[in-house]
Amino acid sequence: MIGDYHVHTRHSDGKGAMAACVEQAMALGLPEIGFSDHLVPAGKDYEAYGIGPAANLDQYVAEVRATAACYPQIRVLLGLEVDYVPGTEDEIAALLARHRFDYLLGSVHFVDGFGFDEGRSRDDPRWQDVDAIYRGYYRTLRRAVETGRFTAIGHFDLPKKFGRRPSSALTACEDEVLAAAAAAGMVIEVNTAGLRRPEVGETYPAADVLARARRLGIRVVFGSDAHRPEDVGAGFAQAAACARAAGYESTLRLSDGAQVRLP
């Protein structure tokens, strides 16, 4: 079985308590679970979906540690999903320096200030130029990779969330991010949230991106992006099959950096 490293709780925009998420992971037989609540730079939507100020981050860390101590039967990891916004590197670095995290997911949810994956953005006029959104997104994602700060890229092709796909011209942009990730030794997350959205119907990233990542030697981890306990570990069998079809035989275990065979 594989660990789930992308789980949100009430500390950011998730609905559940940490203990309930851990119990779901144990019920599925997962060997480890990592919490990855949103760390968002101050400003827009900071407290709406992010952990909030430093004191909240400290509370989050304390609760992950306490939960890990309560459940010795499973490894509980301390992670974060860090929202990469160009220009906020120093602010984020100061927050990250407060604790020792087991891993960090680097994610992009804003392109030039546009929160493209929020529900209220679904019919925003900026979607009239789909390629432009993707181009801005991959430019930002590449900058996130190049900071060298993150363990894994979260939901690689997130702009497809509402079913809009880019033209084939965007393949080159995807490849630039993949090349940067390979050069940085960064990992890619196979995120199963897309499997739960009818407009997407596949993992983030799509199978063809995953196959190209494999050819570049980029390692993979798995994440449900659960925002409620019952989604922890959701879709993992299908995601593992997708990774195998892309040529992967193993996945990275974040607790100790070992490569373990995919089920």
| DSSP-derived 3-state class of residue 218 | coil
Q: Which of residues 35 and 248 has its CB atom nearest to Zn ion in the complex?
A: 35
Least gap, CB of 259 to Zn ion (angstroms):
24
Query: How far apart are the two ends of the chain, measured CA to CA in Å?
Result: 6
Could you identify the residue written with the tokens 């060298």? 148
* Residue 70 half-sphere exposure toward CB, CA atoms < 13 A: 13
E strands of the chain, at which residues?
4-7, 32-35, 38-39, 75-83, 103-107, 152-153, 187-191, 220-223, 250-253, 258-261
Q: Which of residues 39 and 218 has its CB atom nearest to Zn ion in the complex?
A: 39
Token pair listed for 211: 């196959």
Least gap, CB of 72 to Zn ion (angstroms):
27
Q: Which residues pair with 39 in a beta bridge?
A: 82
Sequence-distant (≥ 6) Cβ neighbours of residue 91 within 8 angstroms = 41, 42
C-alpha angle 247/29/230, rounded to 5°?
Answer: 95
* Contact present, 43 and 49 (Cβ < 8 Å): no
Least gap, CB of 183 to Zn ion (angstroms):
23
Q: Which of residues 174 and 225 has its CB atom nearest to Zn ion in the complex?
A: 225
Least gap, CB of 78 to Zn ion (angstroms):
16
Q: Which of residues 196 and 250 has its CB atom nearest to Zn ion in the complex?
A: 196
Q: Give Cα 261 distance to the centre of its chain.
A: 21
Q: Which of residues 81 and 174 has its CB atom nearest to Zn ion in the complex?
A: 81
Least gap, CB of 8 to Zn ion (angstroms):
6
Q: Which of residues 161 and 219 has its CB atom nearest to Zn ion in the complex?
A: 161
Least gap, CB of 164 to Zn ion (angstroms):
17
- Contacting positions for Zn ion (CB under 5 A): 81, 107, 225
